[in-house]
Structure 1
């Protein structure tokens, strides 16, 4: 997972530099949420089997009942990636600790102008 995050961080930085004037902060936040959900799904898929999923969730601090509740679920990986148990096991803070680049946080640091440069020197045409 750490190597995926390192590669993803490089890609996200470049992507954000390219689209920094075209995309709003709210869109960056939605993309951040989607990426974290996708990484949770990826991690869950790595565990594969029910016993492995439950034991991993227990190691991450989820109660035994909730860990088995998620592990025994028949729902798909993508649906389970949004569950409270997985959010408890892999919170946003943990992704930051692993070095994942946040598009929302990077948006503020990259914002050079308060408005797009093409709108600063408008003149009326007669």
Structure 2
């Protein structure tokens, strides 16, 4: 049963629990896909601003549910999409190389990965981008992830 965007279930103790319906999660994923579309030419600051608005509103609305597992999965997925967008933004091999070196990768490894023929989505999961485009990097860019919003909301309530 769904009411006002919440699904209800009965716990082992006989209480009523709240959860986010699958359809709402699918709709959220679709909105995130639109915002993080690699072909949408918009500045990363604007993209991050829109993502932050969406994530803040969504976590505020569903704060009554226990969705830490869902939030953790979505957080990693969103960051991977952002890494793919950033990789495409860098476009040229020389730009990829310079940025990887600037972010602390050795020149040899940076050159190898900058010349990679792998697709954006695949390279976004590579260890090189996980090492350079870290959670701290995205915080410095202004992105506040699902988990951060969720934990703040849980502490406040």
| TM-score bucket of the superposed structures, by smaller chain | 0.7 to 0.9
SS where residue 86 of structure 2 aligns? helix
Name the stretch that deviates more: 39-48 or 100-109.
100-109
SS in 2 for 1:35: helix
Residue of structure 2 equivalent to 1:41: 84
Contact 2:55–2:149 (CA under 8 A) maintained in structure 1: no
Query: Equivalent residue for 1:53?
Result: 96
Stretches (4+) displaced over 4 A: none
Deviations 1:12-41 (Å, cap 9, x if unpaired)? 111222233346101101111111111111
Q: Does 1:2 align with 2:45?
A: yes
30-39 or 92-101: which moved more? 92-101
Which is bigger in relative contact order (C-alpha 8 A, separation at least 6)? 1
Query: Any gaps of 5 or more consecutive residues in structure 2?
Result: 1-43
Which residue is 1:117 aligned to?
Answer: none
Residue-pair matches, total: 114
Change (3 A) 1:23 1:31: farther
Cα-Cα RMSD = 2.0
Whole-Å Cα distance in 1 between the matches of residues 116 and 96 of structure 2?
11
Structure 1 runs not aligned, ≥5 long = 115-126
Corresponding residue for residue 154 of structure 2: 111
Task: Report which of the two structures shows the higher radius of gyration computed on alpha carbons.
Answer: 1
Q: TM-score, normalised by structure 2?
A: 0.65
Higher strand proportion (structure 1 or 2)? 2
